[in-house]
Amino acid sequence: MNETSTDGFVTVARVGEIPRGGVKVVRLGDQPVAVFHLADGYYAMDDLCTHDGGPLAEGILDGDVIECPRHGARFDVKTGAVLCLPAVTPVPVYDVKVVGDEIKVGWA
Ligand code: FES
């Protein structure tokens, strides 16, 4: 499901599809994007670790923090900020909104 709307947001999932504490990987263009369901809502970030391209959605989610499954770098899911080495560059994050029962990611 990838429907682009006029406001630059793309529908990526339905509400209820991603359990709390869960994640869904979608492709926007050529980019894999991980959509996380945290305690206070949905957040989207590139599904590529900035250290060496690890698939972040396959890592361990601890609260708002995702740990890369490859070498253990940790990132703030809400901001993309690096919390520990070996990564040094933040992961790009995207706006998310819920409209009706659709979860949408800003992809202008
Ligand atoms: S690829 Fe993520 S820590 Fe190395």
Number of structural domains in the chain? 1
CA triple 57-31-50, angle to 5 deg: 60
User: Could you tell me the CATH number of the domain that includes residue 9?
Assistant: 2.102.10.10
Using the atom order of ligand 1, give the atom closest to the CA of residue 68.
2
Using the atom order of ligand 1, give the atom closest to the CA of residue 69.
2
Structure tokens at 21: 């504490």
Q: What is the pTM of this model?
A: 0.93
Per the rule left: phi > 0, alpha: psi between -120 and 50, beta: everything else, 6 is alpha
86 lines ligand 1 (CB under 6 A): yes
By residue range, what is the domain housing residue 60?
A: 3-106
pLDDT tens digits along 23-57: 999 999 999 999 999 999 999 999 999 999 999 99
Distance 21 CA to ligand 1 centre (A): 21
b/e code 28-47 from CB counts within 10 Å (16+ = b): beeeebbbbbbeeebbbbbb
In sequence order, the 6+-apart residues with CB closer than 8 A to the CB of 41 are: 96, 98
55 lines ligand 1 (CB under 6 A): no
